Amino acid sequence: MKKKWTEIALALGPAIMLASIFWEYARTSPDYNFLIEPWSVRGFEIVHGAVIGVAAALLLLGSLLTSMQRAMKPRNSALIVSYIVVAATGFTAMFARDSITITISPSTNVILSILLGSVLSLALRSLLGDSVKLLSRATLTLIPLVLVFFLLFAASIMDDPISVPAWLLVFIVFLTNGMLSIAIRPIDMGANRMLLMASVAGWGLVTFSAGAIRQSLIDIQMVTDQGGGVFGIAAPYKDTQAAGGWWLAGFGGFVMFIGAVGLWAKRRDVVAAVARAKRQRAAAEQSAREIQDAADAYAREHETTAAS
Kindly write down the DSSP assignment for every residue of 104-128, as one continuous string: B-HHHHHHHHHHHHHHHHHHHHHHH
Mean pLDDT score of the chain: 81
Question: Where is average pLDDT lowest: 51-65, 102-116, 239-253?
Answer: 102-116
With respect to residue 170, please indicate whether it lies within any of the assigned structural domains.
yes
Give the pLDDT score at 51.
95
In a domain, residue 130? The reply is no
Average pLDDT over residues 241-267: 92
Decide if 38 is inside a domain.
yes
pLDDT score of 89 more than 90: yes
> Which amino acid belongs to residue 294?
A
Burial of residue 247 (CB within 10 Å: 0-12, 13-18, 19+) is middle
Residues 6+ apart with CB under 8 A from 205: 51, 52, 55, 253
pLDDT confidence bin for 33, thresholds 50/70/90: low
Q: What pLDDT sits at residue 308? A: 62
Q: Per mean pLDDT, which of 24-33, 219-228, 231-240, 242-251 is the most reliable?
A: 242-251
Query: Comparing 72 with 11, which gets the higher pLDDT?
Result: 11
Strand, helix or coil for residue 35: coil
List CB contacts of 240: < 8 A, sequence separation 6 or more: 26, 27, 28, 29, 214, 217, 218
Distance of CA 277 to the CA centre of its chain: 30
- Given a cut of 60, whether residue 134 has pLDDT beyond it is no
Residue partners of 117: CB distance under 8 A and separation at least 6: 142, 143, 145, 146, 148, 149
CB atoms within 10 A of CB 113: 20
Query: 263 — phi, psi (to 5°)?
Result: -65, -40
Asked if pLDDT for residue 104 goes beyond 60, the answer is yes
Does 129 fall in a domain?
Answer: no
Query: What's the pLDDT band for 157 if we cut at 50, 70, 90?
Result: low
> Which range is least confidently modeled, 73-77, 188-192, 282-286?
282-286
- Give the Å distances, CA to CA, from 262 to 62, 69, 73, 178, 257: 16, 15, 19, 20, 9
Provide the pLDDT confidence category of residue 137 given band limits of 50, 70 and 90: low
Helix locations, the chain, DSSP H: 5-19, 47-67, 74-95, 106-128, 138-156, 166-183, 190-207, 210-222, 244-307
CA-nearest of 181, 40, 168, 193 to 102 is: 168
Q: What is the pLDDT of residue 278?
A: 73
The answer, yes or no, to whether residue 49 has pLDDT greater than 80, is yes
Instruction: Indicate whether 255 belongs to any domain.
Output: yes
Q: Which residue has the higher pLDDT, 141 or 11?
A: 11
Q: In which band, very low, low, confident or very high, does the pLDDT at 123 lie, cut at 50, 70 and 90? A: low
The pLDDT of 276-298, averaged and rounded, is: 74
pLDDT-derived band of residue 207, with 50, 70 and 90 as boundaries? very high
Give the least confident one: 89-103, 118-132, 227-241. Answer: 118-132
Q: 227: helix, coil or strand?
A: coil
Tell how far CA 169 is from the center of its chain: 15
In a domain, 13, yes or no: yes
Domain that holds residue 54: 2-104+160-307
C-beta separation of 249 from 20 below 8 A: yes
What's the domain count of the chain? 1
Question: Considering the domain boundaries, does residue 299 fall inside one?
Answer: yes
Task: Express as a percent the part of the chain with pLDDT over 90.
Answer: 31
Q: What is the pLDDT of residue 93?
A: 92
Does the pLDDT at position 14 exceed 90?
A: yes
- Whether 138 is covered by a domain: the verdict is no
Q: Determine the pLDDT at residue 289.
A: 78
Q: Is the pLDDT of residue 60 over 80?
A: yes
Query: Which of 5-9, 76-80, 301-305 bottoms out in mean pLDDT, i.e. has the lowest?
Result: 301-305
State which H helix or E strand residue 162 sits in: strand 161-165
Largest CA-CA distance found in the chain, in angstroms, rounded: 124
- 121-131 core/surface letters (b: 16 or more CB in 10 A; e: else): bbbbbbeebee
Mean pLDDT to the nearest integer, 253-281: 83
**Do 248 and 16 meet the contact criterion of CB atoms below 8 Å apart?**
yes
